[in-house]
Structure 1
Amino acid sequence: MTRPDSGGDAPVVLVRYFAAARAAAGTEAEPAPAGGGLDDLVERLAERHGERLSTVLKVASFLVDGVRWHDRRAPLPAGATVDVLPPFAGG
């Protein structure tokens, strides 16, 4: 999937799901509105996909353009890629 276009009417981010998050979302990746922070994005994704993904999102880690995103209220940059990484077994 290509990166979202940061032009146009509403800025978007590309959300990529891995492992259990991919199974719960039912997709490998999707665009989502960039407005707001990570907490806002997580809430929108949970509403879109339901309880199964909501459960995964509660324990997931997030990377924004490959960097761990610590401030969940900081605005997500338009055109960014947000990776949803559930806990992985093994080592």
Structure 2
Amino acid sequence: MTSTAGKTTLVVRYFAAARAAAGVAEETLPGGGSLDELTGELAVRHGSRLAGVLSMASFLVDGVAWHDRQAPLPGGATVDVLPPFAGG
């Protein structure tokens, strides 16, 4: 579990277009909210380009697909942001 001065944090990892839009590969943020709250915070931090990617992205939480955007994220989790991939 990741914590800073007793506060739980999340590690957010960006892939492909999400990485390009965020301008970073990874960042650590305060934990304690839902996926909707997290994506809202990420959009504020990084702007409309990332917000657009987030609206189409899939998310893994500790390697498991996360579909309930209102459920609290577990403390110390790693959240992977996976934009739609092209190809075949």
| TM-score bucket of the superposed structures, by smaller chain | over 0.9
CA distance in 2, matches of 1:69, 1:45: 17
Pick from 66, 69, 72: which aligns with 2:66? Answer: 69
CA distance in 1, matches of 2:4, 2:27: 17
Point out where structure 1 has 5 or more consecutive residues left out of the alignment.
none
What secondary structure does 1:14 align onto? strand
TM (norm. structure 2) is 0.94
* Number of aligned residue pairs: 88
Point out where structure 2 has 5 or more consecutive residues left out of the alignment.
none
Post-superposition offset of 1:9 = 3.3
What secondary structure does 1:11 align onto? strand
Indicate whether 1:83 and 2:80 are aligned: yes
What secondary structure does 2:21 align onto? helix
TM (norm. structure 1) is 0.91
8 Å contact kept, 1:33–1:41: no
Pick from 31, 44, 49: which aligns with 2:41? Answer: 44
Q: After TM superposition, which residue ranges in structure 1, 4 or more long, deviate above 3 angstroms? A: none
Indicate whether 1:25 and 2:22 are aligned: yes
1:9 partner amino acid: G
Q: Which structure carries more strand by proportion?
A: 2
| Structure 1 residues 53-64: aligned runs within 5 Å | 53-64=50-61
